[in-house]
Structure 1
């Protein structure tokens, strides 16, 4: 080891990744302080689909982007939304992101993700067994297509995921409306994906925060961290209100806002906010299964007796306000596919910024500054990979040993 194991750690960000890191550091006897500017699960952790689906935690950039991307830029209602504005950072990100849209790059990224994908569900079980008062549910994921030929790309992706080392059982549903009465006859081909889970993400993250508190951790939801600096043998988190927090080490887990703090510590990989939207609707009959429409890029999840509908990848700045038109675009996209629900009676409308890297890999590990670590850049997979990330990063911080599952995520790459 290059330095002693930390006894006090400050963690920036009270989402799934930051809180899971805090919880696992507590398992090593570390005193933790979580610094958050708004509230628990205030970023991308609250309103996402809540899918614990490591079988679908795959690279976002794939060869279909070469055909789909240009069309999306010209279609304001497309699931992929890219603003036509002068933004050198955004266009630099997009250039690198699209350059990864090859079969070879996709396979390389999938191989790098598979190790942590295989640990993902077990890591949730460890949190629950350790006292986190929340649950995950396992049900088949219903994958719907309007035409049989549309299912070929998804089937091929699942074959590649299995080739990389996961088990993703996929079967055809013969009578889908008996299983999912919310589907219309327009959904002609339906598959069932097994081995995945789902949950209410905000509830789980709140329960994780409560567990951190009960174990002696401090969560300050009025703390805007403006800088993390090395001082003596430790680090200091400087806050916007003039306060500061001293610690032996600090973890930057502030999602799409990561570059603002991490850049001065040698982290040069771009992180772009990929904003997702969601809302919930009531259904005439209970929604029991997660539903995914790959061609529409819409993911749906049973949520507090309703159905949460989530979609879009909008490359904008993380703090821009919710754009109501994007909600309307999702509604119009799925209206022909759903029945027995009122899509115009919506609750819980939300936008959250997911941290997307050009190469599709997270940023997890030590920076160029001793005592400063990062944990972020998971894109759409921060919820499902957060607990495993927190566990492996805590081990690295305490032992100096980088687990092979996070070695590809070196933030200094």
Structure 2
């Protein structure tokens, strides 16, 4: 039986002003709950700023595929591989990689795919709800066109999309020959011999959307405190019915209920809350380039693991998965790896004249499942670990978690994401 309205918290503090944290805050407001959002840097400063901006439930496939182990091995000998793993990982990263490997089996991957399916199915509906509720952002409807060097390799994506459809996620698609690809994607090079058109997808400018979401939270009475970097030693402490959150500058915030949506920084103190599944920073890079002809929609290069999104006078190019500290400086070699792998598929794109180069840490869980729900600490919830799909799954996650907090009853869709599993 759901809790009555009097059982709902009056106020909740959310740690993290990315898409997941702000979506949770927005939906908490839908339940009449006051919200305060604490952000270590600024709104959209992490993975929510420079990602590809795709709302692509058909492609939101968990990373723990059976081929992930082979990719990891190849990355150790190929500096240009889309995956980058340090030769000597830290003990924390070594533990994560070991657990990730154990979960990269057909059974583990299928479990993650089926468990994530409700978030994928609810993706577009949740975004529409935000727009209809006053979030002043633009979302573009457009298919995603994947480019391949051969028909055989294109069949691999077709097989993957059929598995996605079997999991109950809409993934309508059309196979394309080389001529059809170049008609639809004017920047495709002669190397491209086949393609797959994935229908029913969307895209947006992630930084603009995240700031619009923050503006909506503020306009509905929410507080957003930027530059509130939590003190690691006191992160967070609870006395009686209240949490105390202290910043590195000595600022103090009190909270009766707390949602930690801090992305790749989630591991801080998480074990003391009963959170056992580790989260690692799988860092992605992106940059903007010009094109000599318009790019009418998102372009996917599966062989290069690169995503391209239309932008003003060109496109945003995003890719790579670099396991490193979320606070480490950008590695120019990873940008060069994207350029090297994407260039053969492009014509009329100046990949050497780059602007707005960005690196952002995406929180990757060790078993392909996000961590969403209550912890062992009364009144403390977490929301994170979505990997590359924090934007696609963020609003749907926020809607479900806000319901759990407001009603004190966990929605069935969140049961596989138990943070204490």
Structure 1 length-normalised TM: 0.97
Of 285, 307, 311, the residue aligned with 2:293 is 285
Shift of 1:19: 0.4
Name 1:109's counterpart in structure 2: 112
Quote the residue 2:356 is aligned against. Answer: 348
Give the RMSD, CA atoms, in angstroms: 1.4
Q: Who is 1:198 aligned against?
A: 203
Q: Quick check: 1:171 aligned with 2:174?
A: yes
Equivalent pairs counted in the alignment come to 413
- Aligned position for 1:209: 214
Of residues 186, 194, 213, the one that matches 1:189 is 194
1:220 to 220, 225, 237: 225
Bigger Cα displacement from structure 2, 21-30 vs 82-91 = 82-91
Of 367, 390, 398, the match for 1:359: 367
Residue-by-residue CA offset, 1:342-379 (whole Å, 9 max, x unaligned): 11111110000000011010000111111111010101
Cα distance in 2 for residues equivalent to 1:117 and 1:51:
12
Partner secondary structure for residue 44 of structure 1: coil
Equivalent residues in 2 for 1:223-372, closer than 5 Å: 223-226=228-231, 227-372=235-380
Rounded to whole Å, the distance in 2 between the matches of 1:296 and 1:132 is 34
In 2, the alpha carbon distance for the partners of 1:369 and 1:65 equals 34
Asked whether the 8 Å contact 1:9–1:247 carries over to 2, the reply is yes
Give unpaired runs (5+ residues) of structure 2.
none
1:86 to partner: Cα distance: 4.5
2:78 to 71, 75, 78: 75
Structure 2 SS opposite 1:74: coil
Out of 29, 54, 58, the residue aligned to residue 55 of structure 1 is 58
TM-superposition CA deviations, 1:85-123 (whole Å, max 9, x none): 241111111111112222121111111111111111100
SS at structure 1 position matched to 2:37: strand
Asked if 1:120 corresponds to 2:123, the answer is yes
Query: Equivalents in 2 of 1:327, 1:267: separation in Å?
Result: 33
Indicate the larger mover: 110-119 or 125-134. Answer: 110-119
Structure 1 distance, partners of 2:273, 2:393, is 24
Alpha-carbon distance in structure 2 between the residues aligned to 1:251 and 1:262? 12
Q: Tell me if the contact between 2:80 and 2:340 (Cα under 8 Å) persists in the aligned partners.
A: no
Using the size of structure 2 for normalisation, the TM-score is 0.96
Distance verdict in 2 for CA 1:30–1:90, change over 3 Å: same
Tell whether the 8 Å contact from 2:175 to 2:195 is kept in structure 1 after alignment.
yes
Residue 225 of structure 1, CA deviation: 1.8
